């Protein structure tokens, strides 16, 4: 059995594109901090594939895809080399990169969740695994570069769309299992979830929609 959004050449192409672009975004962080080529390749690789590595460690599916899959690894490392040259363009194309980053978050969320469920985890565990896949790479990158992770720092919706995407994917997988949804339906619905994640993310940045913080309170009620 395979994950719906890896079932044909088009979706695999989208996945490679997502890996390459998150690698570019990751490598860009190293460029901005004036690190060397090797650091760019490491941050590109971790950003693109670190989330999947965390997921595979948690699911005991070892060695992780992000280490053992030649195609994925080479794509990620090459993106780290590429950004050393094309960093001004990557930096300039803010909205395009934001869109592609959101696409990769959405795609990794759906695929990560699906893979976990195919391995027989519960829905809640699978949703966590989807979140790890989608957000783990950026998180590890920022911990490595000694920044507070973007998923914590960024006031705009970043984790929330991916959480919604993971939960919807769990529902789609459950529908597929009981025969309510056929394979074509799964592909269509999974694609729709990815689009939803992208749209939610972009709307949040465009219209500055943010999650509330803690309730502001100045009195303390204690016995």
Buried b (16+ CB within 10 A) or exposed e, 104-142: bbbbbbbbbbbbbbeeebebebbbbbbbbbbbbbbbbbb
How far apart CA 195 and CA 102 sit, in angstroms, is 9
Using rule CB under 8 A, residue 209 touches a copy of itself: no
Q: Which stretch binds a copy of itself (CB under 8 A): 3-11, 121-129, 189-197, 198-206?
A: 121-129
- Using CB under 8 A, which residues numbered 17 to 76 contact a copy of itself? 30-31, 33-40, 42-43, 53, 57-60, 62-64, 67-68, 70, 73
3-state helix, strand, coil in the chain (%, to 5): 75, 0, 25
Q: 163 and 112 in contact (C-beta within 8 Å)?
A: no
> Which residue from 14, 17, 99, 125 is in contact with a copy of itself, where contact means CB under 8 A?
125
Site residues for a copy of itself per CB under 8 A? 30-31, 33-40, 42-43, 53, 57-60, 62-64, 67-68, 70, 73, 83-85, 87-89, 92-93, 121-122, 124-125, 128-129, 139, 143-149, 151-153, 155, 159-160, 163, 210-215, 217-222
């Amino acid at each position: 059995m395979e994950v719906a959004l890896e079932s044909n050449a088009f979706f695999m192409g989208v996945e490679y594109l997502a890996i390459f672009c998150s690698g570019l975004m990751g490598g860009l962080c190293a460029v901005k901090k004036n690190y060397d080529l090797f650091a760019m390749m490491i941050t590109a690789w971790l950003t693109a594939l670190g989330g999947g590595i965390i997921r595979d460690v948690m699911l005991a599916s070892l060695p992780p895809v992000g280490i053992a899959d030649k195609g994925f690894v080479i794509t990620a490392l090459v993106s780290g080399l590429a950004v050393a040259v094309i960093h001004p363009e990557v930096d300039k194309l803010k909205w395009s990169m934001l869109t592609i980053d959101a696409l990769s978050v959405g795609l990794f969320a759906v695929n990560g969740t699906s893979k976990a469920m195919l391995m027989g985890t519960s829905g809640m565990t699978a949703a966590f695994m989807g979140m790890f896949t989608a957000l783990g790479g950026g998180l590890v990158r920022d911990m490595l570069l000694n920044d507070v992770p973007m998923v914590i720092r960024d006031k705009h919706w970043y984790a929330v769309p991916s959480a919604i995407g993971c939960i919807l994917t769990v529902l789609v997988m459950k529908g597929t299992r009981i025969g309510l949804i056929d394979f074509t339906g799964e592909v269509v619905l999974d694609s729709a979830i990815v689009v939803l994640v992208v749209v939610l993310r972009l709307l949040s940045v465009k219209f500055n929609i943010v999650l509330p913080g803690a309730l502001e309170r100045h009195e303390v009620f204690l016995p």
